[in-house]
């Protein structure tokens, strides 16, 4: 008999009063959970009935999602978005004060949508898709300690984490570092080489097969565009958006398959080598630019396993974002995209044009 067995056998039985109290607490928790689910189901039914009355057939109806510790209403998904075209994903949700509402928010976070308007007609859906969330009253300006914010954001990676969330937080931390060193909290206009990055990828897949294409654009004559020969083509074509918007932009054969003989189509390892060579030829004073592009930077760094000790020093560890300039310019619409959206290289060219336009507004 070991010590563990002895200790286990010596544990006293729970007294009757505690057993009864625990049972009562469990019963209350079960009843609360049932009431919570009933309310969520009632709200989902109200959303779906209202959509039917308006003649709106959702891509996904409202429903109830049961997690381990809570139950929540999952809004009805009404329309996809394209942030480069200033089009927001649209949802229909329920608010106890407003009733059925039109919300906007990312497709991978349906529970984090923002109110846009009360849903009274199809026009509300179209307006929300193009205008985004309703304007919020201005909040008091609070001076942020950028140095402390940078340390807080980078801490997960310094503790050894290399998952997507940790990398994304680290990128935010690098932005905070830049802001902490800038006068009046605004980064100075870079004086070196500005490189625009854009990637197409399978959401949530950080493996080599999840990268579809990658483009780097440092100006005329200094571009790199590569398509991943090792991508999961079946997964890409199984997603409606990828099949309709991304796949046609890739080098294809006459029968619609990926043209693996095309010079732009290279293995994942070769993409890593060419990206390293591209940055090595630009010198040390490089600023990387993206548009709502934390995920793009993660895909770039994933070429080296998101390990900065392995990644070449010439590859930027952080990126500035066109979305910041757009916010400084008052949230204006970007110039029209004259190329093919979701063709990575043509998207980087649009980023460069949009950046020049926004800087002209900001002064």
Q: What is the pLDDT of residues 34-82, one digit of tens each?
A: 888 888 899 999 999 999 999 999 999 999 987 666 678 899 999 998 8
| 173-217 tens-digit pLDDT | 666 555 555 555 555 566 689 999 999 999 889 999 999 999 999
Residue 204 inside a domain? The answer is yes
Closest CA to 122 of 193, 70, 178, 51: 51
Q: Say yes or no: 118 and 208 in one domain.
A: no
pLDDT of residue 201: 95
Structural domain boundaries, residue 315? 189-362
Q: Say yes or no: 217 and 111 in one domain.
A: no
Handedness of CA 256, 258, 259, 264 (dihedral sign): positive
Residue 326 inside a domain? The answer is yes
Tokens, residue 138: 């201005």
Q: Say yes or no: 356 and 252 in one domain.
A: yes
Q: What are phi and psi of 257, to 5 degrees?
A: -90, 160
Q: Say yes or no: 209 and 351 in one domain.
A: yes
Residue 236 inside a domain? The answer is yes
The CATH number of the domain where 236 resides is what? Answer: 3.30.420.10
Last residue of a domain, one of 116, 131, 146: 131
Compute the distance between CA of residue 51 and CA of residue 61 in angstroms, rounded to an integer.
9
Helices (H) and strands (E) in the chain, counts: 11, 12
Compute the distance between CA of residue 53 and CA of residue 120 in angstroms, rounded to an integer.
10
Residue 93 inside a domain? The answer is yes
> Residue 141: pLDDT above 50?
no
Compute the distance between CA of residue 153 and CA of residue 173 in angstroms, rounded to an integer.
5
Last residue of a domain, one of 104, 131, 158: 131
Last residue of a domain, one of 82, 105, 131: 131
Count how many domains the chain has. Answer: 2
pLDDT of residue 115: 86
- DSSP 8-state assignment for residue 252: B
Residue 336 inside a domain? The answer is yes
């Amino acid at each position: 008999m070991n010590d563990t067995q002895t200790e286990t056998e010596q544990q006293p039985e729970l007294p009757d009063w505690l057993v009864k109290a625990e049972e009562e607490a469990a019963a209350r928790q079960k009843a609360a959970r049932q009431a919570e689910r009933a309310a969520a189901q009632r709200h989902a039914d109200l959303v779906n009935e209202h959509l039917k009355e308006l003649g709106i057939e959702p891509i996904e109806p409202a429903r109830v999602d049961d997690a381990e510790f809570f139950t929540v209403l999952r809004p009805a998904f009404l329309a996809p978005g394209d942030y480069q075209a200033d089009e927001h994903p649209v949802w229909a949700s329920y608010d106890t004060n407003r009733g059925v509402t039109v919300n906007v928010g990312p497709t991978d976070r349906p529970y984090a949508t923002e109110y846009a308007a009360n849903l009274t007609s199809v026009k509300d859906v179209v307006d929300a898709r193009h205008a985004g969330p309703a304007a919020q009253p201005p909040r008091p300006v609070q001076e942020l300690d950028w140095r402390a914010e940078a340390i807080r954001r980078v801490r997960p990676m310094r503790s050894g984490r290399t998952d997507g969330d940790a990398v994304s937080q680290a990128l935010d931390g690098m932005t905070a570092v830049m802001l902490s060193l800038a006068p009046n909290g605004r980064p100075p206009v870079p004086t070196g080489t500005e490189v625009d990055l854009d990637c197409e990828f399978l959401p949530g897949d950080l493996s080599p097969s999840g990268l579809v294409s990658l483009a780097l654009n440092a100006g005329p004559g200094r571009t790199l565009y590569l398509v991943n020969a090792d991508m999961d083509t079946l997964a890409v074509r199984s997603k409606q958006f990828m099949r309709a918007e991304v796949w046609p932009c890739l080098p294809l054969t006459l029968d619609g398959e990926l043209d693996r003989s095309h010079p732009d189509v290279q293995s994942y390892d070769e993409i890593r080598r060419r990206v390293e060579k591209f940055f090595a030829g630009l010198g040390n004073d490089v600023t990387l630019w993206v548009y709502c592009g934390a995920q793009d930077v993660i895909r770039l760094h994933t070429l080296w396993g998101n390990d900065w000790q392995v990644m070449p020093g010439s590859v930027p560890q952080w990126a500035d974002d066109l979305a910041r300039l757009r916010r400084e310019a008052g949230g204006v619409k970007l110039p029209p995209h004259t190329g093919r959206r979701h063709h990575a290289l043509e998207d980087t060219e649009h980023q460069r044009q949009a950046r020049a336009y926004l800087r002209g507004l900001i002064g």
